[in-house]
Structure 1
Amino acid sequence: MRTVNPNLVTERRRQILEAALVCFREKGFHGASMSSICKKAKMSPGHLYHYFKSKNELIKAIVESDSAYHEEKLASLVEGGNTLETMLSCIDEIWQKDKDLDAVLYSEIMAEASRSPEAAAVIRQHEIRLRDRFAKVIAFGQDQGSIDRNVDALGFATVIIACVTGLRVADQADTQIDRDLATTAFATMVCRTLKPKP
């Protein structure tokens, strides 16, 4: 019986996902066919379907990777002492392109979620995980005393994530956002809302 090399499986999956990301960005979710992804990955359809049965499975893998990436970044906010100060020191990162799932591709997947219940379920879980994780960071800061205890942690996490997503989409769509002005306004909003009241 042939044994499966886990390193080879991981490498093949990475190869396919990288090809899918390129195709989704170039042609959009609907415009990118599985055959075009096979061609970009330099892999036969039979080989590719061994790893991913559909474009929705590709979306799920991309979104799950993005969730893990963001959870790791959010976890780092509780490691630097004062949670609010650490959050404010990272505010410029709202303009950084994510490792895989950038704002434009995320918008594409969100649009697909409005048509596909399977894609919608993937996005829903991603959003819930991200909001819950960020709310825990805020709650940690509240217990620590660096964040106002009267702030609704989940409500604020929901609004901030929506703001960051909107800013990134507008920026990548080249809507002439002044990043410096937006960053200053965003930092002011976060500080005034979260800073403990005297």
Structure 2
Amino acid sequence: MKEKSKRQTDPALAQARRDQVLCAAADCFRRKGYHGAGMAEISKTAGMSAGHIYNFFASKEAIIESIIEQDMEKVFSIFQEYEDQPGDLVTILLDGLDYAVDHHTDVNQGALDLEMFAEAARNDKVAEQLRKSDCYAREKMRNLLLSERSLIKDLSATELESRIEVMFAMINGITLRKTLNPHVDKATLLLALRPAMRVLLVPF
């Protein structure tokens, strides 16, 4: 008697389905907030049954964790580009501000980020994931600034950490500024952001 062979799941299709759910969930969280967006809403937006979604994610919390992990993968990709790109590190990082400002002035991305931060204030698991992501990004920046191409590689550990914190505060703060002042544009932000960031990337 022949054994029934199990249907093999196509990894590419499974990943596409996961991405479909994450995209739908992000849209729902932006529009209705984390608590206002139930699995039924996510299911409807994704165009698949809630049961199908549970094949990929155990809960809404797991969906949020995966969204944060996606952001970490983007951060890895960006910093990898910085590492691989030849030339002056200060110029490379200053040029990278174009992407950073685009990302943090994107209205949809900003709404999602603010919702994540709000959920982190009351959900320890989400807070831990966001802190892990931030720690990872700071580590990647630290490695760049300690590399041979860096002009500030010889700074004390305390001063280096201070500069990284201020860099990240400036970049992350753009989301809040765009929320409070929707009319602020990329050119205006970069006009002061580039020279301010340059100061932090060279010895005082």
TM-score, normalised by the number of residues in structure 1: 0.87
Per the alignment, residue 89 of structure 2 pairs with 83
Q: How far apart in 2 are the matches of 1:31 and 1:145?
A: 46
Shift of 1:164: 0.8
Shift of 1:175: 4.0
Shift of 1:38: 0.5
Q: How far apart in 2 are the matches of 1:13 and 1:178?
A: 34
1:101-149 CA-partner distances (Å, limit 9, x unpaired): 8222111101101111111111111111111111111112xx2253463
- Report the structure number with the largest CA radius of gyration: 2
Per the alignment, residue 111 of structure 2 pairs with 104
Q: How far apart in 2 are the matches of 1:154 and 1:22?
A: 35
Q: How far apart in 1 are the matches of 2:81 and 2:126?
A: 29
Q: In the superposition, relative to structure 1, how do residues 179 and 15 fare at CA in structure 2: closer, same or farther (>3 Å)? A: closer
Q: How far apart in 2 are the matches of 1:185 and 1:39?
A: 44
CA contact (8 A) 2:90 2:150 kept: no
Matches within 5 A, 1:63-78: 63-78=68-83
Shift of 1:173: 4.7
Per the alignment, residue 128 of structure 2 pairs with 121
Shift of 1:172: 4.5
Within the alignment, does 1:15 sit opposite 2:20 as a pair? yes
Per the alignment, residue 93 of structure 1 pairs with 99
Shift of 1:158: 2.3
Q: How far apart in 1 are the matches of 2:132 and 2:110?
A: 18
Per the alignment, residue 198 of structure 2 pairs with 191
- 1:144 alignment partner, SS class: coil
Q: Which runs of 5+ in 2 are unaligned?
A: 1-5
Which contiguous aligned blocks of 4+ residues in structure 1 show a shift greater than 6 angstroms?
none
How many residue pairs match? The answer is 194
Give the superposed CA RMSD: 2.2
Q: Which runs of 5+ in 1 are unaligned?
A: none
CA contact (8 A) 2:24 2:42 kept: yes
% identical aligned pairs: 27
CA contact (8 A) 1:52 1:58 kept: yes
Shift of 1:168: 2.5
Q: In the superposition, relative to structure 1, how do residues 36 and 173 fare at CA in structure 2: closer, same or farther (>3 Å)? A: farther
Matches within 5 A, 1:174-185: 174-177=181-184, 179-185=186-192
